[in-house]
Chains A and B, each alone.
Chain A
């Protein structure tokens, strides 16, 4: 019940009481945007949002999403380098080098 799905706003009405169209995995759904619209609805077109029970609940912050993934990737690279340093990664990969 408490999960949502990400979707992209593709069309909006003239005010927040009109439903907006959101593309969720290729399917277009009518969604209420009153909980995320603080200015003009038109400014929301193209934004990614989290949709829950017919309402857009939150604008997905693309920079934060990217930052999380980059932090994870940096951690992964660091882990591999530490492994190299300690000789843990020795194996097929190293044989090719």
Chain B
């Protein structure tokens, strides 16, 4: 079993689509407005457009592209902080590839590389430990970016760095956490979301239990969802079933990967290495309390910002860019005045256009002619 081909069976997709259409038409009779369903994760956004799922669905379903792409919600000031460190002559700065082109006030990490900084793309944070061991006269810094999916890998890398006694390794920590962000979103009075497709791989780490408050306190249905076309269609069918029946529950479509309790080994590593920060800034969404992490005292020696004593960079979002409104469902990507003009994948202004998982990039790539 390859776990890919089977979940792309077009016949089964047809059945699911017919089920969704049937249920949605029954819901639509009782409601005057389309359903707004938020896919929290950028991986889902990308899959929905790549497989054309949005065009197969009835017009009574609208997608809202949520804040679950770490590159998209990365504030400019944090990129400026990375560049401040990366441009030091003794530093080898390592990052996942999708953060390379995010613009800061003084350009992107790619621009810094063009100016001569030693910026390297890594596939795995473990690669950075090898660089540190091979370059004892250099300081190797890893840009730890992402939600709970990438956080355990950073945590294990830090545990190994400590075990190996590396003194020339540190991380620039931009890890963020999804639950406080979803709560903050639901607390905004003018955000109208009828249900959630919850991120599959964040949930693989945290489990399904932490989403309970969405159903209990905010009375919204939620389905944890995988990334293949049938996963997304089945999850949509489960969501519209809940809405049709008037239920608000946390359901799990992605049981082959996600359990109720998540990955206990990963959570243990997270607890050892990270602690919650008072508040963190998000691009387009402002500051959200308890939504980011910093290193625990036992690991603070590996904090690049402390090691290099960097300045705190704060850059206000450009009022013309509507990144925040797209992330909260207040508008579609092509409603932004910069979409496709000042902001394109080749020359992105907003981060939603930089990452291939960003809503604007997905719209640009797959929907431009149709928008």
A binds B: yes
Assembled-state Cα–Cα distance A67/B252 (Å): 13
Assembled-state Cα–Cα distance A72/B199 (Å): 21
Q: Among B1, B12, B150, B152, which residue has its beta carbon within 8 angstroms of that of A1? A: B150
Task: Decide if B263 touches A6 in the complex (CB within 8 Å).
Answer: no
Q: How many A-B residue pairs have CB under 8 A?
A: 126
Task: Decide if A55 touches B124 in the complex (CB within 8 Å).
Answer: yes
Q: Judge whether B366 is part of the interface by a CB distance below 8 angstroms.
A: no
Task: Decide if B15 touches A76 in the complex (CB within 8 Å).
Answer: yes
Assembled-state Cα–Cα distance A55/B154 (Å): 10
Task: Decide if A60 touches B3 in the complex (CB within 8 Å).
Answer: yes
Task: Decide if B201 touches A3 in the complex (CB within 8 Å).
Answer: yes
Assembled-state Cα–Cα distance A66/B15 (Å): 18
Nearest residue, chain A, Cβ from B68: A2
Task: Decide if B15 touches A72 in the complex (CB within 8 Å).
Answer: yes
Size bracket, chain B contacts? 35 or more
Q: Among B42, B68, B152, which residue has its beta carbon within 8 angstroms of that of A57? A: B152
Q: Which residues of B contact A73 (CB under 8 A)?
A: 12
Task: Decide if B257 touches A35 in the complex (CB within 8 Å).
Answer: no
Q: Judge whether B177 is part of the interface by a CB distance below 8 angstroms.
A: no
Q: Which of A1-28 contact B (CB under 8 A)?
A: 1-4, 6, 17
Assembled-state Cα–Cα distance A72/B11 (Å): 10
Assembled-state Cα–Cα distance A60/B149 (Å): 16
Q: Which residues of B contact A38 (CB under 8 A)?
A: 265
Additional pairs, 20, CB under 8 Å, beyond known A1-B96, A52-B149: A1-B69, A1-B70, A1-B71, A1-B98, A2-B41, A2-B68, A2-B70, A2-B146, A32-B156, A35-B265, A35-B266, A52-B153, A53-B125, A53-B150, A54-B124, A54-B127, A57-B205, A67-B255, A69-B6, A75-B19
- Give 14 A-B contacts (CB < 8 Å), ordered by A residue: A1-B42, A1-B70, A1-B98, A1-B355, A35-B266, A36-B265, A50-B204, A54-B125, A55-B124, A57-B266, A62-B1, A69-B6, A69-B12, A76-B12
